[in-house]
Amino acid sequence: MLKSKIAHPKTAVAAALLTAVLMGAAPAAAGTAFAENFKQFQSVYKKVLTETGTVGSSFWFVHDNRVLAKEYYGFANLEQNRKVDENTIYHWASITKTFCGIAIMQLRDRGLLKLDDPAVEYLPELNAIHNPFGKMSDITLRHLLTHSGGFRGATWPWKDKPWHPHEPACWEQLVAMFPYTQVHFEPGSQSRYSNLGIIFLGRIIEQLTTDDWEVYIDKNIFKPLGMHRSYFDTTPYHLMKDKCQSYIYENDERRPAHPDINTGITVSNGGLKAPFPDFRKYIDFLLGNPDDPEMQAVYDGVLKRASLEEMWVPQIEYGPARKDDRGRTVKAAQGLIFFLEEIDGMRIVWHSGGQNAFATYFLVQPESRSAYIAGFNTQVIPVENGRIKSTRIATSAVKDFVVSRFFPLFR
């Protein structure tokens, strides 16, 4: 992997160094413009996080396999008076799904499955599900990868008591509910986000490899990419000092969320925990560098570049093109696991995560070889007094700034 040249602009001197680094990686005009824009970003970032009551957040911008800018805000743990820093470990929630998708593509490339295979070939238990649109064998692995299999959104929609587990602990608990489960729309006719479908993919990986899902991902993705401080579910003792606590505002009162959840059988769609330096290695993998032999070796060991880019080909469009608040033309589509957008012709590959009061995002702009990573540790449950306070306000403000002001500099 390429060595990072990391700038941390907190002073005028650091800002000048940032410009110098950028000028070595991009045309001088882009480097100067980025440094100027990043100063404005810092002000916007701090303002929106303060206004929304966010306790802690991290942001990195990556270009050409370099971390060009980092920004941190607030606390990883208020009770311990521990501030967010480079080592802070976030819960990435549904971003975990992208690792599940890559694992499926690995097995496809290794000849162990085909994307258009019926899911019931691997999971005959699915035949107990009611499908008013046809046979369960009509639902393929591709349908699961594109959220188009017709399954419900929630893995476990029956939780209504405080003593119920956060997620079902094992496969057998899901199987027990299959006779009470139905397919909600004709498979392949639309894409509607489904955690349940991703759990099926995770189970198939276990069936084919005989590894627990977490073990398979560690062996076949984490270790080849050098993600040695990444893990699933509860935090190992030696990393507890860096684990981020999350917080919930309810009725304008802030309280800590659950300190460390076990996602149970849903681990393949939500259990990832990692610090930003580890997750940046994943971003480097997504950005790629075909001219670097070390990077090529990583692709050979994890997933061919062609297979990765196959995951970014639109499979199902989310309706017609629309105009956003800035008047830009936006097209949205579902790829294989990854979400896709085209904004005035600029392609965006992304995914987000939200669970246990964490919100996480990454966006990749392949043509400019640029990306950003953002994490937030606060959830605001809406209140009735009209006060504007929402994590989505903060995440949307960050996305809008990067897409409008950073990505275009490097295209």
Q: What is the pLDDT of residue 297?
A: 77
Q: Which residues of the chain have pLDDT under 70?
A: 1-29, 382-390
- From the list 94, 93, 89, the residue with the least C-alpha distance to 274 is 89
Distance separating alpha carbons of residues 86 and 77, to the nearest angstrom: 14
Strand-pairing partners, residue 231, are: 273
Domain 12-87+243-262+275-410 top-level CATH class: alpha beta
Q: Which residues of 134-152 are buried (b: 16+ CB within 10 A; e: fewer)?
A: eebebbbbbbbbbbbbbbb
Tokens of 80: 């311990």
Distance separating alpha carbons of residues 300 and 306, to the nearest angstrom: 11
CA distances from 62 to 6, 51, 134, 183, 272 (A): 9, 26, 46, 41, 21
Q: What is the SS3 assignment for the chain?
A: CCCCCCCCCCCHHHHHHHHHHHHHHCCHHHHHHHHHHHHHHHHHHHHHHHHCCCCEEEEEEEECCEEEEEEEEEEEECCCCEECCCCCEEEEECCHHHHHHHHHHHHHHCCCCCCCCEHHHCCHHHHHCECCCCCHHHCEHHHHHCCCCCCCCCCCCCCCCCCCCCCCCCHHHHHHHHHHCECCCCCCCCCCCCHHHHHHHHHHHHHHHCCCHHHHHHHHHHHHHCCCCCEECCCCHHHHHHECCCEEEECCEEEECCCCCCCHHHHHHCCEEEEHHHHHHHHHHHHCCCCCHHHHHHHHHCCCHHHHHHCCCCCEECCCCEECCCCCEEEEEECCCCEEEEECCEEEEEEEEEECCEEEEEEEEHHHCEEEEEEECEEECCCCCCCCCCHHHHHHHHHHHHHHHHHHHHC
Q: Map out the domains of the chain as residue ranges.
A: 12-87+243-262+275-410
Q: What is the C-alpha radius of gyration for the chain, rounded to an integer number of angstroms?
A: 21
Q: What is the pLDDT of residue 161?
A: 81
Alpha carbon of residue 106 to chain centroid: 19
Q: What is the pLDDT of residue 261?
A: 87
pTM of the predicted protein model: 0.90
Distance separating alpha carbons of residues 115 and 106, to the nearest angstrom: 11
Distance separating alpha carbons of residues 326 and 343, to the nearest angstrom: 11
